Structure 1
Amino acid sequence: MDFKLSGRIIDESGEGLMASIFIHELGKGTAADIDGNYEIDKLRPGNYHLHITHIGYKSQSKTLLIKDADVEFSTEMIASAIQLESLTIEANPFKNGPLEQSQTILVIDRDYIEKNNAGTFANTIEKLPGISTINTGVGISKPVIRGMSFNRILINDRGIKQEGQQWGTDHGLEIDPFDVDRVEIIKGPASLMYGSDGMAGVINISPPAFKQNGEIEASINSMYRSNNDMISNSASFAGNESDFVFSGRFTMQDFADYRVPAENFNYAGFILPIFENRLKNTAGSERHFSAMAGVKKQWGYSTVTVSRFQQKAGLFVGAVGVPRSYNLRPDGNSRNIDIPRQESSHLKVIWNNSIMLDDRWLELDFGYQKNIREEYSLPHSQEVAPDNPFGNLALSLNLDVFTANARISQQKNDKGQAILGFNTQFSRNQHSGFEFLLPNYESIQGGLFYFREIKFSPNLIFNTGARIDGAYHDIQEHLQPIYRNSRPTGEIDQRNPDIQKSFVNWSASSGLSWVFKENYNLKINLGSAFRIPTPIVLSSNGVHHGNFRHEIGNPELESERSYQADLNFAFSNRKVSINLSPFVGYFDGYIYLAPSARFSTLPGSSILWEYRQNDAIFLGGELSADINIVKDLSLNIGSEYVYNQNLDTSLPLPLTPPFSTFAAIEYRLPLDSKFIYNMRIFVDGRLAADQNRVDRNERTTAGYKLLGAGLSWEMKLKSQKLQFQVAGQNLTNEFYLNHLSRYRLLNLPEQGRNVTVNLKIPISIR
């Protein structure tokens, strides 16, 4: 039997609001009419999580039980001059994540992503406090949360953990920023719900809400970036035909060698030229498509998504081996992608299900990923056979991953919820090419967790949970013949032995969220997380050209254990929203890569770098504020700081981002007319301090100042809406070094002045 949910949404004066009402579990919603009345019909008995949002008002969240009759729910919304995200995954008034969660969580929507699109997904979110990026040029980047990256951060795309050789700095995050609708960033340990790789945080990429029945929309996005002449075009569509839901997107992105504010650089005491201010062979191209189809019914939904991301990117000619003046000369084509280069392909097939079982919800996610990464360079003649069958293919890594996740949740009316979940994953990696870095391996891991949320009152929520995980790695021995001057010596080098290792570990956390006054929210989270050593840290043994070093794994490594505490204090009223998020963590057996006192015998490398374990501490915090200065004029400020120390060496850990502050001021021009409206002008800047706290043999980096500005507006041509934005980055053409950049090791600066032009054309088909 079906029932109806209805009610009225009003403001503080009792006037109706045309708010959005959304049922989280069904991906289904509606909009209230001009008087604030709404109605959602054809609902089966069960528990539902309801979100109410309206721009200019604090969002609300409510759990409702529909049992044997229609339900009426009406509410009054509180006005706020602070503009909150309109597509908040779990709505609340404090901009610090779901009220139900005790961790620090940032939530952004498509509007934020489109406004800050920097060509890669990781660079798009780096303006958020606590988020940094490790860059290889301008087309390859990976996120850093509170100074930690690689396999300590889990990227969750539509419920499936993204697996794409994320252990290397030169292995970018293969996500199309145009294909991201809303993002939830969990800062701090999240191993409880997500497993080993969630030790430092999780980036949840969620699909957009389903369209309403009979609705079909499309859009076209175009972007141009002047610094590297990047041209991006992306087209999408989405619709709902009698509860058959579907969507698709295709993106093309091409860019040339990027420009830097320098004419030369210093490498090992030699001054080498940068011709025409362009870094040779840093051009690239990307192609991405995704398609989704499924059904949305009263019992829930089931969808299948297929996507493929392909990238071909040149590597600066001095990034593999030793840079020399003769090969830095331009070849006459700034868009040419030559050797050395990398090519990657990431195929994903994801099946998502949400099914109502009486008063419970069962979520099932299944995924298959195939990630192929290839590196091309000229072979070193002294280490390959004269009949080298691989040509210029230096390294090929072929990774297949099968994933299955299951969660069953039960709402305890307004008293919270309970979640029982299971995750499992099987991986197989195979290598090829004339170089060796990683052996062939197979790995299987899985975990079982229980999470309990208790609402003592609407303003005091406690949660706790525990998890147990196991993993087994089967790593194959690799024997490599030794050649000198292309002649076999008859000797064999065992690059790694057979390794079979199993691990069992646990994690647990508890926390609370307390709204102790109407405008104050305090969150506390205490937890112990773990990280299982990956086959990479156990068995790698080769030159990782992307990092300019010979890396050696350690098969004796044990699981990493952390004990962490997070605090989040939020204040919000009509004019101001402030968040303060300090954190501290102790790591027992922190795994990291460190230089040794030995030199490598392999060509194209220098000293050996070894994976080690030492105890370490991390502490720091973020401060963010949104201030409505006067009507239509707002200020946003975000600061971040990370301090860490290796407790055994009494030195800092490598690749730690410096203290930095980002600020932006925005003014909405009162120029709304029939044709041009919603015009905004903004100015932003970043101040980064010197980074002098570095590990042994790691270089210090000077601080810098960056200035940006932009203008956005909307207009109508007849009935067609157009959205424009023009923005500039590094407008002063500042020469600066990014401490986390891969090219920092070559004393190469970051890109110079850039102007970005964006055009979006939303199309309502029906």
Structure 2
Amino acid sequence: MNEIPIISSTFYINRNMKLIINMLLCLSIASVQAQNILEGSVVETTSQKGLAFVNVYLPDLEKGTYTDEDGSFNISGLPSGNYTLIVSALGYETFSLRTTIPSNAPLTISLTPSAIEIESVIISTPFHKLQSENVMKVEQANVSDLKSNGAITLADGISNIAGVESISTGLSIGKPVIRGLSSNRVLVYTQGVRLENQQFGDEHGLGVNDAGIESVEVIKGPASLLYGSDALGGVLYLNPERFAQQNTNSGDINANYISNTNGYSTSAGYKQSNDHFKFLFRGSLAEHSDYKTKSYRVTNTRFREQDFKAGLGYQSKGFKTEFRYNVNNLKPGIPEGIGEQSTNKSPLLPFQEVTNHVFSSKTKLFFNTSSLNINLGYIYNDRKEFEEHHHDEHEEDHEEEDHEEELHDDDILEAALHMKLKTINYDVKYNLPKLGKFETIIGIQGMNQVNTNYGEETLIPNAITNDIGILGTSHIHFKNADIQLGARFDHRNIEINNTLNRNYNSFNGAIGFKTNITQNITSRINLASGFRAPNLSELASDGTHEGANRYEIGNSNLKNEQNFQTDVSLEYKSQHLEFFVNGFYNTVNNYIFLAPNGTEIDNTPVFTYSQEDAKLYGGEFGFHLHPHPLDWLHFETSFETVTGKQTNGLYLPLIPANSLNNMVKVELNNKWLHKGYVFVKLKSVFEQNKVGDFEDNTPGYNLLNAGLGGSFMCLKRELTVMLTGNNLANKTYISHLSRLKTDGIFNMGRNINIGITYKL
């Protein structure tokens, strides 16, 4: 029965690969140039003295170095061409320069003192510019900064970014929410490829551990132009840690203790690079007991997570490539109420075991005045769910420890729900030679995905999905303004159980405008459309959704979701003050939602999928003050709001409540303490009374957090110590995006997190 879809899927892949090969043959007409050297010096603007230990980096080539004590630098082994050069140092404005290699003379770069944080290159947008140069508004945060502010997991950390929240089930499970949109409306990218791991499922998280992730970028708004279906609401882009700089090596070990869950997380990594080859690897392990509120522990929110990442890269002349692999195994319990009170870490029934394998390759070919990027990925998601009636009954007088030990003996446990999702995706983009003020990229993206069931129960059926998209986008430079525009066509085919075949097509476009009103004020206006094809769960689910306590029935007649968003932003930046205002209005036609139909199957309420036009609107506001001459003192405030409504007047479900964040931070740096800090943060979440038809209101609350940390030398190596406290007042509260709110279960109480990192 499976032979026909496999043959048709293979034919589809071969046809797409032929198209890619033909494209490569047509584009590879330029000759590769010899290797070159880029040299120069970095000086302070006023004194013209050389600056030591300044980072000089070529993001297009992923090569860089640090200046010596005199401010001089030298980077060898570079191909000919035009590249962006980024120069950054703590306490100075980040400098960006478009340079030609080979250069006629050594460069002299002046840096201006500033208390504003160092800018980084934005990777999730196609032209890889600094955010200050980007037409599209993108939020970026370093994972190390998120953790120093008290984040325990990656899903927990992204909620510290304005406009981003997380739908959570305890600590182990979190789904990103961008301006009120979540699930398959938010696309996750890791290692340069789209992550496919049954995103519709509520009982498992991102499938990626924060160990080995360097930074997070968030595109808030439709990004279908760049990424196709499922980027209707935005993109969460995870940047893996960089390889070591040329002819260097480094390693580190990290350990964290989390008091609330009596849990821990550890990781260790090493990386090395020479003139041509580079490699890295990192392993991590985390175990947590049930999280604790002020009054009780929430039974079966315990979990165990194992993660391993590795990478291998090679660079020579006008060619660079890298291969990365990540395997993540998460075993979370599925909470069903308040019961056993213990600090055991082995999940009780029901629980899930989700293993995610991500293989990726990134290759870039440099020609005289153009380049070709080829990203390939293979994602293998193995999802199992174990339930009580699939295990031999135990006598009530058995010891609890023995019971838990048997639950985790795979020889006697059989998964009730077992799905394997195998995804092959490709992304090929050609950077055309720059023509006057135009930078242009054309590309083709595609995906082949096979979902197969192996368990006794079937939530969604066996199916094959094929995607293909063709895009083109340009960045136009003017003296005081930049324009970015583009268009894209997508086709998706879904074949379900050899009985149902659906095709979805969509044409989308985007245009953005950025201008510097004054030297310190930047404005952006972006207009973009996006789409999302219905997923397998929405089309064909027919079964009980454990943990959610509902029976879901799909709708095979669902149409594409199609949206159009207007996004406006205004930013002010000076040496001691930053200020921003973002506003958006998002209309979504054929918005798909799940609602009860008033019937029951096997004493479980039935939920069905329907469609209705909807709109979302809101925005973010914030400022960052570091007054002169107290540059070490920082005041930060941000406010975010979003409202989601259907055209029939009903509110959309799972819309985050309005929130206000205030933080005071002190930076401490001297001869023995590096990057020291102390902060106090108050998060105020307002009442959410604009709720979906079958949701309850949630009251507002205030959370007090604080922390301190810094780095110093220990045995001639750098040791970083971190101490943070979350919910220090031990407030009892329920987040509107908690999946446990329907049972009246509180979110996590007071937690103290102690972390150390030692560089080897």
TM-score by length of 1: 0.88
Cα shift at 1:669: 4.0
Report what 1:372 is aligned to. Answer: 382
Deviates more, 1:685-694 or 1:610-619: 610-619
Q: How does 1:187-198 map to 2 (within 5 A)?
A: 187-198=220-231
Tell me the distance in 2 between the aligned counterparts of 1:565 and 1:717.
52
- Residue 246 (1) aligns with residue 279 (2): yes
- Residue 694 (1) aligns with residue 691 (2): yes
Report what 1:712 is aligned to. Answer: 709
Tell me the distance in 1 between the aligned counterparts of 2:146 and 2:656.
23
- Residue 679 (1) aligns with residue 680 (2): no
* 8 Å CA contact retained: 1:96, 1:104: no
Report what 1:402 is aligned to. Answer: 424
- Residue 259 (1) aligns with residue 287 (2): no
Q: Residue deviations 1:46-80, cap 9 Å, x none? A: 1212112111222122222336x535443332222
* 8 Å CA contact retained: 2:146, 2:160: no
Tell me the distance in 1 between the aligned counterparts of 2:484 and 2:271.
37
- In structure 2, do the counterparts of structure 1 residues 462 and 390 end up closer, same or farther at CA, with 3 Å as the change threshold? farther
Cα shift at 1:365: 1.0
Q: 1:10 aligns with which of 33, 39, 43?
A: 43
* 8 Å CA contact retained: 1:355, 1:362: yes
- Residue 217 (1) aligns with residue 239 (2): no
Tell me the distance in 1 between the aligned counterparts of 2:124 and 2:202.
35
Tell me the distance in 2 between the aligned counterparts of 1:730 and 1:96.
37
Q: 2:360 aligns with which of 350, 374, 377?
A: 350
Give the secondary structure class of the aligned counterpart of 2:156: helix
Give the secondary structure class of the aligned counterpart of 2:457: coil
Report what 1:135 is aligned to. Answer: 168
Give the secondary structure class of the aligned counterpart of 2:68: coil
* 8 Å CA contact retained: 1:53, 1:91: no
Report what 1:83 is aligned to. Answer: 117
Q: How does 1:542-621 map to 2 (within 5 A)?
A: 542-596=543-597, 598-603=598-603, 605-606=604-605, 608-621=606-619
Report what 2:73 is aligned to. Answer: 38
Tell me the distance in 1 between the aligned counterparts of 2:689 and 2:95.
45
Q: Structure 2: which amino acid aligns with 1:464?
A: L
Tell me the distance in 2 between the aligned counterparts of 1:521 and 1:545.
49
Report what 2:203 is aligned to. Answer: 170
Tell me the distance in 1 between the aligned counterparts of 2:542 and 2:292.
35
- In structure 2, do the counterparts of structure 1 residues 80 and 453 end up closer, same or farther at CA, with 3 Å as the change threshold? same
* 8 Å CA contact retained: 2:37, 2:78: yes
* 8 Å CA contact retained: 1:96, 1:105: no
Report what 2:755 is aligned to. Answer: 758
- Residue 449 (1) aligns with residue 471 (2): yes
Report what 2:142 is aligned to. Answer: 109
Q: 2:728 aligns with which of 728, 731, 734?
A: 731
Report what 1:334 is aligned to. Answer: 344
Tell me the distance in 2 between the aligned counterparts of 1:204 and 1:361.
22
Give the secondary structure class of the aligned counterpart of 1:111: helix
Q: Structure 1: which amino acid aligns with 2:613?
A: D
Cα shift at 1:222: 0.6
Report what 1:280 is aligned to. Answer: 299
Tell me the distance in 2 between the aligned counterparts of 1:405 and 1:250.
28
Tell me the distance in 2 between the aligned counterparts of 1:91 and 1:339.
40
* 8 Å CA contact retained: 1:662, 1:685: yes
Give the secondary structure class of the aligned counterpart of 2:732: coil
- In structure 2, do the counterparts of structure 1 residues 62 and 411 end up closer, same or farther at CA, with 3 Å as the change threshold? farther
Tell me the distance in 2 between the aligned counterparts of 1:78 and 1:374.
55
- Residue 474 (1) aligns with residue 474 (2): no
Query: Which structure dedicates a bigger proportion of its chain to strand?
Result: 1
Report what 1:58 is aligned to. Answer: 93
Number of corresponding residues: 702
Q: Structure 2: which amino acid aligns with 1:578?
A: F
- In structure 2, do the counterparts of structure 1 residues 666 and 100 end up closer, same or farther at CA, with 3 Å as the change threshold? closer
* 8 Å CA contact retained: 2:150, 2:725: no
- In structure 2, do the counterparts of structure 1 residues 110 and 238 end up closer, same or farther at CA, with 3 Å as the change threshold? farther
Tell me the distance in 1 between the aligned counterparts of 2:694 and 2:504.
33
Cα shift at 1:103: 2.0
Tell me the distance in 2 between the aligned counterparts of 1:425 and 1:172.
22
Tell me the distance in 2 between the aligned counterparts of 1:375 and 1:256.
19
Tell me the distance in 1 between the aligned counterparts of 2:313 and 2:273.
10
* 8 Å CA contact retained: 1:28, 1:210: no
- In structure 2, do the counterparts of structure 1 residues 287 and 329 end up closer, same or farther at CA, with 3 Å as the change threshold? closer
- In structure 2, do the counterparts of structure 1 residues 203 and 333 end up closer, same or farther at CA, with 3 Å as the change threshold? closer
Q: Quote the sequence identity (%).
A: 29
RMSD between aligned residues: 2.2
Cα shift at 1:413: 7.1
Tell me the distance in 1 between the aligned counterparts of 2:570 and 2:216.
21
Q: Structure 2: which amino acid aligns with 1:75?
A: I
Report what 1:663 is aligned to. Answer: 662
Cα shift at 1:551: 1.6
Q: 1:303 aligns with which of 317, 322, 327?
A: 322
- Residue 506 (1) aligns with residue 539 (2): no
Q: 1:292 aligns with which of 292, 311, 314?
A: 311
Tell me the distance in 2 between the aligned counterparts of 1:677 and 1:333.
37
- In structure 2, do the counterparts of structure 1 residues 117 and 728 end up closer, same or farther at CA, with 3 Å as the change threshold? closer
* 8 Å CA contact retained: 1:58, 1:79: yes
Cα shift at 1:345: 0.2
* 8 Å CA contact retained: 1:141, 1:173: yes
Tell me the distance in 1 between the aligned counterparts of 2:515 and 2:247.
42
Runs of at least 5 residues in structure 2 that lack an aligned partner in the other structure: 1-33, 392-410
Give the secondary structure class of the aligned counterpart of 2:612: strand
Runs of at least 5 residues in structure 1 that lack an aligned partner in the other structure: 263-276, 382-388, 478-497
- In structure 2, do the counterparts of structure 1 residues 333 and 41 end up closer, same or farther at CA, with 3 Å as the change threshold? closer
- In structure 2, do the counterparts of structure 1 residues 505 and 662 end up closer, same or farther at CA, with 3 Å as the change threshold? same
* 8 Å CA contact retained: 2:59, 2:121: no
Cα shift at 1:104: 1.7
Tell me the distance in 1 between the aligned counterparts of 2:463 and 2:738.
30
- After TM superposition, which residue ranges in structure 1, 4 or more long, deviate above 4 angstroms? 389-392
Tell me the distance in 1 between the aligned counterparts of 2:343 and 2:232.
44
Tell me the distance in 1 between the aligned counterparts of 2:106 and 2:595.
62
Tell me the distance in 1 between the aligned counterparts of 2:522 and 2:739.
39
Q: How does 1:483-502 map to 2 (within 5 A)?
A: 498-502=499-503
Cα shift at 1:117: 5.9
Tell me the distance in 1 between the aligned counterparts of 2:486 and 2:516.
22
Report what 2:401 is aligned to. Answer: none
* 8 Å CA contact retained: 1:379, 1:392: no
Report what 1:651 is aligned to. Answer: 650
Tell me the distance in 1 between the aligned counterparts of 2:547 and 2:112.
52
Give the secondary structure class of the aligned counterpart of 2:619: strand
Tell me the distance in 1 between the aligned counterparts of 2:65 and 2:200.
43
- In structure 2, do the counterparts of structure 1 residues 357 and 754 end up closer, same or farther at CA, with 3 Å as the change threshold? same
Cα shift at 1:346: 0.2
Report what 1:70 is aligned to. Answer: 104
* 8 Å CA contact retained: 1:4, 1:71: no
- In structure 2, do the counterparts of structure 1 residues 189 and 72 end up closer, same or farther at CA, with 3 Å as the change threshold? farther
Q: Structure 1: which amino acid aligns with 2:470?
A: L
Tell me the distance in 2 between the aligned counterparts of 1:51 and 1:573.
20
